[in-house]
Amino acid sequence: MSWQQIRFGDLYMIPSRNGLMRPSRVRGQGVKMVNMGELFANQLIGDIPMERVPMNERELENSSLAESDLLFARQSLVLEGAGQCSYVASLPEPTTFESHLIRVRLDQAKAIPLFYHYYFRSPFSGMSTIVQQCAQAGIRASELAELKVGYPPIEVQKAVVDLLAPYDTLIENNRRRMALLEESARLLYREWFVRLRFPGYEHTPIVDGVPQGWERKTLGDLCSEIRDMVLPEALEPDTPYIGLEHIPRRSISLNEWGTAEQVTSSKSRFKAGEIIFGKIRPYFHKVGVAFVDGVASSDSIVVRPAADTLHGLVLMTMSSDEFVAVTAQQMKEGSKMPRADWKQMKAYSVPLPPSGLLSNFDGVIQPIVEQLKSISLANQKLRTARDLLLPRLMSGELAA
């Protein structure tokens, strides 16, 4: 690369800043907060579900995000996650960021922030030279500022962004379509199974808490946990791998994954259509349907419905706010990482409608799942094309 090298901190508009610490007991209301989960799951941060935290006016002044900010992972459980960079694309409301993240705000007279977002996602960023490996991999804000980075002319930065950004625009448009589809499925589930306003409800009496003709079942009656563990050496390197970092919050679409070449310990095998629930800190609401065969983190619970017609009901129950809240209340308390307990999860009470109504419900949910799968696979192709182009642009192999 023939670009001029410059100290990254020389491009800052203001000094970088680490985020806020907020214990789980105070989270729930207030200002949106970007956590590690959002950073790993979203290269572009926008209007996505997040936890909320209380903030005072001074904190709002010092620790809020602005559009075009860069966020870096200060720590990660895996080496390749340390220093990962996301770009703040849009902020419909005030938003802050947690203590494991570093905020960098560039002087846009000197640099195009989106260019440096792409730069730090390329193999030429030099980020690996400042990663320290202890119990967790991590970077320091002071060393990030001292890192030497390529500094092409602004017009070159703009040309690179003009080539790469359309991919992300298409991906984001698809993400919004998926969010609307998911919300329609969520509303239908809530209407039928929480409010009990299903077709014909006006003429159906409630008996012992369920509509007449319905049955009171447990989740364990409708599905089972799959424990098919596999060692890394038994996997093909390109086998899809879904870690907790790939599971988005409050989304049923598992539309991102890595590959098994990243895997160093035994994992849980899953099939397309099975449901994966992130059991560490279940209040993070990480649960969705797999669109491909692959392996998942051992800190996930893989669930298979007992029948095809139960798939929609099991999926929407396990991804509902009510189920996640109960699971979080019952989780096993650990020193740092409380976990969901399948023995308690499977005891969750589920109203089961007659076969006709169940088929009608599944007949609405499954086409939505198929659309989500189609859009997810299209986004995977877009990401692959973008990521093939990215290093060639940053190496100078292709002229922007």
337-384 confidence digits (pLDDT tens)? 788 999 999 999 999 999 999 999 999 999 999 999 999 999 999 999
Same domain for 22 and 140, yes or no, is yes
Tokens of 94: 């005030």
- pLDDT given at position 177: 95
- Identify whether residues 279 and 143 lie together within a single domain: no
Q: Where are the alpha helices (DSSP H) in the chain?
A: 36-41, 57-63, 113-119, 141-146, 154-189, 219-222, 311-318, 321-330, 342-345, 355-395
CA 6 to chain centroid, in Å, comes to 33
CATH no. for residue 353?
3.90.220.20
Averaged pLDDT score across all residues of the chain: 91
Residues 207 and 142 placed together within one structural domain of the fold: no
3-state class percentages of the chain: helix first, strand second, coil last, to nearest 5: 40, 25, 35
Separation between Cα atoms, residue 353 and residue 338, nearest integer Å? 34
Q: How far lies 290's CA from each of 40, 161, 320, 383, in Å?
A: 18, 32, 17, 18
In a domain, 385, yes or no: no
- Let me know whether 81 and 226 are in one domain: no
The residues, any chain, with a CB within 8 Å of residue 2's CB and separated by 6 or more, are 396
Question: Within this chain, do residues 146 and 188 fall inside the same structural domain, yes or no?
Answer: no
Label residue 28 by pLDDT band (50, 70, 90).
Answer: confident
Domain coverage including residue 62: 4-152
pLDDT, tens digit (0-9, with 9 covering 90-100), for 158-181 = 999 999 999 999 998 999 999 999
Decide: helix, strand or coil at residue 362: helix
Q: Per-residue pLDDT for 399 more than 80?
A: no
Number of domains forming the structure of the chain = 2
Strand order across the beta sheet in which 75-76 lies: 75-76, 137-138, 132-133
Is there a single domain that holds both residue 147 and residue 175? no
CA 144 to chain CA mean position, Å: 25
The mean per-residue pLDDT over the stretch 313-322 comes to 97
142 in a domain, yes or no? Answer: yes
Residue 390 lies in a domain: no
The verdict on 9 and 127 lying in the same domain is yes
Reported as a pLDDT band with limits 50, 70 and 90, residue 137 is: low
Asked whether residue 360 is assigned to any structural domain, the reply reads yes
